[in-house]
């Protein structure tokens, strides 16, 4: 029984990675925009010209940290959804709610 459940685990993981790569997320904060996907790949970073001034260096660093961390939080939510879905798909019919789904 468990062999059947785990037999195509690699295939399911690859499908989940592809699904996560197709989910694009973005975080925008005060002239900073960072986009990535559910597979934790950064796709683009845009920085407003005003932050290229030396006196804006510390503000830029703080905004980048905040934007990256917010984007990672969004990605974690999407990863959790995809993982839960994968687990539910692997369970025999009637057992989908076993793990709080």
CATH number reported for the structural domain that contains residue 50 in this entry: 3.30.1310.10
Residue whose pair of structure tokens reads 């932050």 in the numeric block? 51
Provide the token pair at 44.
């683009």
More confident residue, 41 or 94: 41
Provide the token pair at 86.
């994968």
Per the structure, the complete domain to which residue 60 belongs is given by: 2-99
Q: pTM to 2 decimals?
A: 0.75
More confident residue, 99 or 43: 43
Q: How confident is the model at residue 1 (pLDDT cuts 50, 70, 90)?
A: very low
Report the C-alpha gap between 77 and 37 in whole angstroms. Answer: 12
How many other CB atoms are found less than 10 A from the CB of residue 10?
9
Report the C-alpha gap between 53 and 72 in whole angstroms. Answer: 27
Average pLDDT on 34-38 reads: 96
- Give the total number of structural domains in the chain: 1
Q: Is the pLDDT of residue 101 over 60?
A: no
């Amino acid at each position: 029984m468990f062999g059947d459940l785990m037999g195509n685990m690699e295939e399911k993981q690859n499908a989940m990675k592809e699904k996560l790569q197709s989910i694009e997320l973005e975080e925008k904060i005060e002239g900073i925009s960072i986009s990535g996907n559910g597979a934790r790949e950064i796709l683009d970073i845009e920085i407003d010209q005003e932050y290229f001034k030396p006196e804006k260096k510390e503000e830029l660093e703080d905004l980048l940290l905040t934007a990256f961390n917010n984007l990672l939080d969004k990605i974690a939510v999407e990863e959790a959804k995809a993982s839960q879905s994968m687990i539910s798909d692997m369970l025999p019919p009637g057992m989908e709610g076993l793990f709080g789904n």
